[in-house]
Each structure stands twice: as C-alpha cells, then as structure tokens.
Amino acid sequence: MTQPSTRREMIARTGSALAWLSALGIPEFAWARQDGEELVTLTDYTNSFQIEASETTPRVRCVDLRTLTTWVTPNDQHYAFAQTRSPEVDAATYRLRVSGFVEKPLEFTLEQLQARKDRRDEAVTLECSGNSTRPNRMAGLLSNGVWTGVGLKSLLDEAGVKPEAREVLFLGLDMEREKKFQAGNREYQAPHGRSVHLLDALHPDTMLAFALNGQPIPRDQGFPVRLLVPGWYGMTQVKWLGRIEVLDRRYEGQHQVRNYLSLRSVETPDGPLWIDTSISKTRLKSLVARITRRRDGAGWQYRISGPAWGGQAPITAVEVAIDGGAWQRATIDALPDTARRLPSRGRYAWQLWSVTVPNLAPGTHTVVSRAIDAEGRVQPTKDARDAEIASGREDNSLWTREFRIDT
C-alpha cells in the first residue's frame, strides 16, 4: 500500500494520535489523577515559568510536568527547541540526499522513505541537554513519544559506505548564522548540522523519523523528516533533515565543536584531568513532577509521581526522600504492552513511578527522587555531578522540590 505523503493524507489514514495509541494498546490516561485526588501545590514553581518561552528564534516550548497524564506527550505539547527559524517544507517536493564517501549517492522522496520495508515504531524520550530547573524552564524541555521511521543503516548500506568513512553528517534545511565568521556587514550562513561517528550512525536503533504518535511530525519537531538517535540528547536529533553526508574526517560546525561541549573529569595518577568533550548520550535521571492527595478514612494519602529516564543501562529502581528522611522505594509502572513489543522493547522511553505516603503534617515540605540503574549507578547529587562535569548542560543532579500543605 502506498504510504501517505502529505499531512492531510496521513492524518486521514491514521486518525487522531490518541486513537492510534489506543489501537496499539497504550492507555490514553495511563497516568491521570485518580477519583477524588486533588493537586498539592509545588511552591518552587514561579510566575516566570513559561511554556511558550519563545515563538520565533530560537523556538522554545516547555512542558508543564505538573499536568502529565499520559505516558506519551501529545504532539501539540511536545517540548521544542531550535537554534534557527523553523522552515516550512513542502512534502510533495521534499528530497533527502545521501552523498559523500559512498559508492552510490542516493535521493529519496518522503513517500519512498515511508514505503521502505524496515519501517518501524520506537518509543523514545527526548531531553534537551540544556534542560534545567531554572524558574523559566522547570525541567520542561523533556518529552516522550512513539516515533515512526526507517533505519539509517539500511540507507547507508544501500549507498555503500566507503572504507575511509569516519563520520556521518546530518544537515537540516534550516540555515544558521555562523557567529565566528563575519567580515564587515557580511554575514555567513550555513545549514544547521551535527555529525556522529560512523559506528553510531550504523547502530540498528538509529533511525530517520517521519511520524510522531501516529501523525506526521509537527513543524516544530522537524517535519517532514528528522534524525533520531535514541538515548542521546536532543541536539543530535537534527530536524528538517535534507542531506546526509558521509565524511572521511571530523565535522567541525559551530554546534559540534564550538557549542554543546562539556568539561569532564578524568582520573589520573596526578589527580583529575579536565578535558573538553562533545555532549552525546543522556544521563540517568528522575524528577518529582506532581504531588496529589485524597482522603483515606480520617486522614490523607499523598501520591508523589514522576518520570525516570536516560542512562545507558536499564533503570531498576527509583527512591524518594521526604524532608531529608530515609529513602523510600517507589513503584515503577509497567511499560505499556506496545512498548514491550517495539524493536528495543521500550528501553529508550521514560518510566513513570509513584510512591504513596500517609498523613503529612501541615506546613512546607521537601521531596526529592533518585534513579538507580542495573549497574548500580545512582543519580548524583549536585556536588557529585559538578565534580564530574563542568557545564551548564547535562545536569542530571537531584532536584529537591518544595510543596505546601495548608490543612
């Protein structure tokens, strides 16, 4: 069957995103408030928090994590961040070109990509590497969705990668100002791009995505095609993808070697050595997103909830501490059946967790969560994280929340 090549055709065939997810067995309200539950005020949210922080360039939209009700983030709420102005792309004339150090340069229409045999769905949590707990962000550059696309490896195999190939460069159809190169009033522009090592490009989970939650990718998310490298921070997932160039050397664009870097500490016999490294894979992380309560007999039961994600090993536990007390084990919700049927069995999707505690006293309280993975790694405190990474990005340290109980 010919795949739809326009937004209208695809929406007509798939219906709404929620209907599509329901057909796949993903509950529409898998994380909704229960009957009788009421929200407890998180007092660390401020009036400076903005969902639509910028509507132009760079485009920024945050997610209000207090309102999470579904395992997937609806398309119109998915976080957005772009270094450039989001281009308008005509699906009918769109072409993706593969060239460089390949035996056979290739060109694909959107319809050809959608019709490839290795088309698949994958659940992936995306987080901006600059996601922070600053009042205007409140960790809202974070979303989870089910992406549809094709494997990048199959395209590169078809093109025939030459032996001297070292990196694969992904160039968007958006243009950015090259800040380093200016002469007088002249301004240089180049396509926004990022590259990954050839081995990462050939990883079986790396894909080219053209749908999100059963609908064409929204413009803010890179319509009609974007790169998706599951388990990596958002800056690698190049949107509005127009060209794939196989290189025999390192790509040195401004967002590769002059931005999105972190100083990392490497232990040596002479003490720690700090080296510049490119930001790449996501780090183990969790956070408290919401607190609710409902009456249980004469008292109250409080439910503390949030997501856990990232890291390069499976998350095996989430623990919660209230008012600096002992760590309590949270319950991690089972992934939807659909996620467990996906090629990577949902390993790149966030896990939703909760813990219930009774009868908290009126007044101000603190609560914090930490994730633990299968290799025994624990989400770090701020001091531990800062001892390993010197950067405003990749902040996966514990986020202590504050909340108030009036009665």
Evaluate whether 395 touches 381 at the Cβ level (below 8 Å).
Answer: no
pLDDT digits (tens, 9 = 90+) for 280-321: 999 999 999 999 999 988 789 999 999 999 998 999 999 999
Mean pLDDT of the chain: 88
Considering the chain, tell me which residue range(s) the CATH 2.60.40.650 domain(s) occupy.
Answer: 285-405
pLDDT digits (tens, 9 = 90+) for 149-161: 999 999 999 999 9
What's the whole-number mean pLDDT along residues 244-273?
A: 90
Comparison of pLDDT for 23 and 332, the residue scoring more: 332
Considering the chain, tell me which residue range(s) the CATH 3.90.420.10 domain(s) occupy.
Answer: 7-33+47-262
Residue 196 identity (one-letter amino acid): V
Q: 285-405 — its CATH code? A: 2.60.40.650
Which superfamily does CATH assign the domain made up of 7-33+47-262 to?
Answer: Oxidoreductase, molybdopterin-binding domain (3.90.420.10)
Q: Say how far apart CA 33 and CA 243 lie, in whole Å.
A: 44
Q: What are phi and psi of 234, to 5 degrees?
A: -60, -30
**Residue 96 contacts by C-beta under 8 Å, 6 or more apart in sequence?**
107, 108, 110, 113, 208, 225, 241, 242, 243, 244
What's residue 9's pLDDT? 44
What is the pTM (predicted TM-score) of this model? 0.90
What's residue 185's pLDDT? 67
Using the predicted structure, report yes or no on whether residue 40 has a pLDDT greater than 90.
Answer: yes
Burial class (CB in 10 A: 0-12, 13-18, 19+), 383: exposed
